Amino acid sequence: MKYFFSLLAACFVSVLLYLLVFGFAVSRPLVIDQISDFMAEKLAYADATGHPKIFVVASSNARFSHSCAVLEAELHRPCINMGIAGDVSLDWTFDNVQPRLAPGDLVYMPIEYGTYSRSRVQMMTGMDAAYRFRHDKASLAKRGPEGVIRAAFMFTLPTFLQSLGEMGLNAAGVRRRFGLDTLDRQGDETGHDGAKAAPYLGVIRDAQGEFPNAALVDNPDGAQTALGHFLDFCRDHGVTVVGGLPTVFNDKQIPDSAIAELRNLFARHGANFVVMANRSQYPRANFYDTGYHLRQSAQERHSQMLANALRPLLPARPGEKF
Amino acid sequence: MLFNSTIFLFGFLPVTLLLFFLLGRFSIPAARLWLAAASLFFYAWWNPPYLILLSISIVFNYGAGYLLQFPERFRGPLFPRKIVLGLGLAFNLGFLGYFKYSAFFIENLDALTGADFVVRSIALPLAISFFTFQKIAYLVDSYIGKVQEKSFLNYVLFAAFFPQLIAGPIVHYSEIFPQFKKLETYRFQWINFTDGLTLFLLGLSKKAVLADEFARYSDVVFNNAQTGAAISLVPAWIGALSYTLQLYFDFSGYSDMAIGLAKMFNVELPLNFWSPYKAGSIIEFWRRWHMTLSRFLRDYVYIPLSGNRHGEARRYRNLFLTMLIGGIWHGAGWTFVVWGALHGTALAANHVWHARIRGSAGSFLYRATGHLLTLMVVICGWVVFRATSLEVAGNVFRGMLNHNGAYLPEQFLAVARPLRYLFSGLGQVPYLGDSTVMGTFEVFAMLTLGCGIVFAAPNINQMTRRQRLAVVMIAFGFTFQKIVFAGSISPFLYFQF
């Protein structure tokens, strides 16, 4: 019986060690912790600028394929690119954007196709949850007990090994190819073109490409609920929201049915939806390292076109006429 | 029902254990009946109609076994025992052949003759290969007088005992049922329960924490090889090595869990693995890998084929045929035929080496070469074993032989510059580590850890209780995370056989 209780104790200590290790000891400075630096940089710019302003909200497609610098120059109001990474949960971005919105602001949302069907559990176990469990535990409380527990138990053995590797590389001064130094002040990714894109030519040539599937807006319990709450908040607070299509390869056209589904989703919450003539689709040669990331030159062209599409939807400033 | 599913862990297992020991206090037949019924329920959970097939197999083999064991009980003319045995074997092999091999046979007949027989899709009943071999062993043991069992209930319990029903270890009646005849088996014993639970948890960790992670690395390579994608050197070797580790952790994990579960019921199952990748020769490998299958093949295939009784050439032929049958037992496909033939050839070559050429066996170089050669044969064998066709295996082998170039992530090479002499840089290497740099680091780190465990660490059965507890303390947190939170429970690889 003593041996049995030793086994029970070993199990208990193991779970405790697991929580202590991932909650207090190891971290992933190169991949996970970076998202907080990015968010802080973007929010600092948002806080430093006046209203009305523009937010571009999506995942890495926003950061790589959209240029707030271009939108800002074209539309004459501050623009903050909130895109960080694909695995950052939308609701974390919403939580950070929402307090910074004011009537007359515009939020453009070219959300990636895969994000719409993300489940509630996936939302609770994104990169931000890993970051928050390690460095910002108090902020997890907003997600309730389930959110805290899911964040606490999202780490695997490979995560542990990656953490050790990243901590070692970080200590050795190794940096990722992206960082605060490759973001402009609006939060756009820059420099992802030319020689930097050369090693990815083969990847882009062989990539399958991102495309909406039949389950595009299935699974309404997760990302779509968070999106719905955010859209309702914007509608109720005089913020204009414009949904849009993410940038993808133009191998085949995005079907009308998918566009109609997305348009309906946004319309149900009083938001607009814009579709550019090219449906945000570009030749593979315009892409950088994945099927969602345009090269900088294409990013700027796309943003130019987007500015023209958004101009008529911009809420007028007090006393301003378009 | 999977051993790693929550319904098994938190429902089936505790209820079955509790009632078994509770009933055992009052009535041993009732406890046996309960355990047999629970085992059949466990089997039926997967696909209830196949319980009928298992039941037919049980009833038939019990009857045939009875006829073989107690011919004197029947008055009047009776089939000679040899014919009863022959019919019994034919039934079992026919049963296996119909469900497992008929589609393969017809496909090949069509290909060979140009005929157009329709291949009906026949779902393979879970565990058919395992329970068929076990029943063949029962009939042969009945024939040679090693088994005496009159009770149908006892036979059902032996045939369906859930810890070993699905994927072994392949057991003999004589090593299992005498344990069920002991009174103390029906008395809850903390020490056995805790030993069993410890083994079970360690096996579960092997499966959930290690095997399922290695599956991610190997699946991406083999699935893409199946589509005809060109796999480069590093992903090809990583796919092959990952599968080598996946299969070991998966199957030995399953065996540990099975042995642990049986031990909770005070029943000892035979060992099935003994650090097989530490083997210095292919002969030794088969003494350490799936030991109960090797034993079965030796006792019921190799020896009946005449074993080593009629000269060397006959012996090598028998070895080859035995392994070929072992290969075909694993699955109906040419990959399994080739895998069996490869091991048969390697075993025969190893015996030739031992008999004629053997040099300085004690030297380090001899042992190291032996280990390396054995590993190469085993890894190449697993590539064929894992591939869905010989073309897919060829595709992976082309990558392993550097036909499609050798690449590493550019950022990797920027840090480890000497590697530039061997590898070219790519932004993302397809099919390697989620095509990210840290993903690639993760794969290398996991492979290093996996190799460290299989080559350098003692196996579970060599560990003291204290050492086992230490491993539980390290691994349980990750296992708990996988089982309760990861949300994906993968079946054991050997369930497909």
Say yes or no for a CB contact (<8 Å) between B438 and A206: no
Of A106, A153, A266, A188, nearest to B477 by C-alpha is: A153
**Cis (ω within 30 of 0) for the bond into A78?**
no
pLDDT band per the 50, 70, 90 thresholds, residue A187: very high
Chain B residue nearest residue A206, CA to CA: B430
CA distance A128 to A125: 8
Residue type, B39: S
Whether this model's ipTM surpasses 0.85 comes out as yes
Residue A8 has a pLDDT of: 95
CA distance A200 to A213: 25
Of B149, B135, B118, B113, nearest to B32 by C-alpha is: B149
What does each of the 497 residues of chain B score in pLDDT, given as a tens digit? 788 788 898 899 999 999 999 999 999 999 999 999 999 999 998 888 888 888 999 999 999 888 888 877 776 556 788 888 889 999 999 988 888 888 888 888 888 887 777 766 677 788 888 888 889 999 999 998 888 888 899 999 998 999 998 887 889 888 988 899 899 999 999 999 999 999 999 999 999 999 999 999 999 999 999 988 889 999 999 999 999 999 999 999 999 999 999 999 999 999 999 999 999 999 999 999 999 999 999 999 999 888 888 888 889 999 999 999 999 988 888 999 999 999 999 999 998 888 777 666 677 888 888 899 999 999 999 999 999 999 999 999 999 999 999 998 888 888 888 989 998 888 788 888 877 788 888 999 999 999 999 999 999 999 999 999 999 999 999 999 998 888 766 777 777 66
Residue B359 has a pLDDT of: 60
Of B110, B402, B461, B21, nearest to B276 by C-alpha is: B461
Task: Tell me how close the Cα of A44 comes to any Cα of chain B, in angstroms.
Answer: 29
| Residue of B17, B212, B423, B472 best to disrupt the A interface, most CBs of A under 10 A | B472
Residues recorded for chain B: 497
Helix H or strand E segment including B79: none
Task: Tell me how close the Cα of A111 comes to any Cα of chain B, in angstroms.
Answer: 22
Of B142, B225, B203, nearest to B393 by C-alpha is: B225
Q: Return the DSSP state at B408.
A: E
Spatial contact of A172 and A183, defined as CB atoms under 8 Å apart: no
Of B272, B267, B320, B262, nearest to B296 by C-alpha is: B272
Lowest-pLDDT range, A44-48, A49-53, B117-121, B226-230?
B117-121
Residue A322 has a pLDDT of: 44
CB < 8 Å to A7, chain B: 194, 197-198, 201, 469, 472
Cα dist. A304→A111, A290, A295, B318 in Å?
19, 21, 14, 76
| Residue of A161, A169, A177 best to disrupt the B interface, most CBs of B under 10 A | A161
Burial of A322 per CB tally in 10 Å (0-12, 13-18, 19+): exposed
> Which residue in A6, A17, A121 is closest to B487 by CB distance?
A121
Q: pLDDT (tens digit, 9 = 90+) per residue, A219-266?
A: 778 889 999 999 999 999 999 999 999 999 999 999 999 999 999 999
CA distance A138 to A156: 22
Q: pLDDT (tens digit, 9 = 90+) per residue, A94-130?
A: 999 999 999 999 999 999 999 998 888 888 999 999 9
Of A24, A21, A71, A22, nearest to A49 by C-alpha is: A71
Helix H or strand E segment including A126: none
Chain B residue nearest residue A156, CA to CA: B478
CB < 8 Å to A146, chain B: none
Give this prediction's pTM: 0.89
Q: Residue written as tokens 């065996």? A: B255
Determine phi and psi for A2, rounding to 5 degrees. Answer: -65, -40
**Cis (ω within 30 of 0) for the bond into A52?**
yes
Spatial contact of B262 and B274, defined as CB atoms under 8 Å apart: no
The predicted model gives A181-199 an average pLDDT of: 90
Q: Given a cut of 80, is residue A44 above it in pLDDT?
A: yes
- Whether B343 sits among the annotated catalytic residues: the reply is no
Contacts of B314 (CB under 8 A, 6+ apart): B306, B308
Say yes or no for a CB contact (<8 Å) between B482 and A156: yes
Residue type, B223: N
Q: Which residues of A148-180 are buried (b: 16+ CB within 10 A; e: fewer)?
A: bebbbbbbbbbbbbbbebbbebbeeeeebebee
Q: pLDDT (tens digit, 9 = 90+) per residue, B251-277?
A: 999 999 999 999 999 999 999 999 999
Residue type, A250: N
Q: Residue written as tokens 């480069």? A: B232
CA distance B344 to B453: 28
Say yes or no for a CB contact (<8 Å) between A165 and B445: yes
CA distance B468 to B458: 10
Q: Given a cut of 80, is residue A218 above it in pLDDT?
A: no
Nearest 5 degrees, angle CA B480-CA B483-CA B487? Answer: 130
Count CA atoms closer than 13 A to B89's CA, side-chain side.
12
Give the active site residue among B172, B290, B310, B330. B330
Helix H or strand E segment including A225: helix A223-236
Task: Tell me how close the Cα of B428 comes to any Cα of chain A, in angstroms.
Answer: 6
| Residue of A8, A14, A60 best to disrupt the B interface, most CBs of B under 10 A | A14
Q: Residue written as tokens 């950052």? A: A88
What is chain B's Cα-based Rg? 24
Say yes or no for a CB contact (<8 Å) between A157 and B425: no
Spatial contact of B223 and B466, defined as CB atoms under 8 Å apart: no
Chain B residue nearest residue A31, CA to CA: B438
Residue B488 has a pLDDT of: 67
Three-state secondary structure call for residue A55: strand
